[in-house]
Amino acid sequence: VAFTPTVGTTTYTVTGTDANGCVNTDQAIVIVNALPNVSAGNDVTVCEGTQVTLNGSGAATYAWDNGVTNGVPFTPSVGTTTYTVTGTHSNGCVNTDQVDVIVNPLPVVNAGPDQIV
């Protein structure tokens, strides 16, 4: 029988009766750990060419997609990219979170031709 146990430690008892009416029981202890509360941080908006550092929190180890390494600066491309971090707790439980990095292009600036005065 399938079921979804709740977080915590629960002892389940099964009782079996054979054709002769003999009865026996056994127990299984099931420990369900809570998922880590993984956070990718707040969304980030920067200008083109600016380095960004993404840091996960709420778990023991972190793995980012798109080639990002936790806590290591990188220079994202212009546009909006959603980065996903997967955090793993020391008990092996895994959860994810996402952050958007918005990179605005630099404005085109023209001061006109050089002047000699």
Is the pLDDT at 117 greater than 90? The verdict is no
Mean pLDDT of 82-91: 97
Identify the three-state secondary structure at position 10.
strand
Neighbouring residues of 116: CB distance < 8 A, sequence distance ≥ 6? none
Q: What is the distance between the alpha carbons of residues 62 and 90, in angstroms, rounded to a whole number?
A: 11
Cα 81–chain centre separation: 15
Using an 8 Å Cβ cutoff, are 84 and 97 in contact? yes
32 strand-pairing partners: 8
Q: What is the distance between the alpha carbons of residues 3 and 71, in angstroms, rounded to a whole number?
A: 39
Q: Which two tokens stand for residue 88?
A: 């793993």
pLDDT tens digits, one per residue of 14-38: 999 999 999 999 999 999 999 999 9
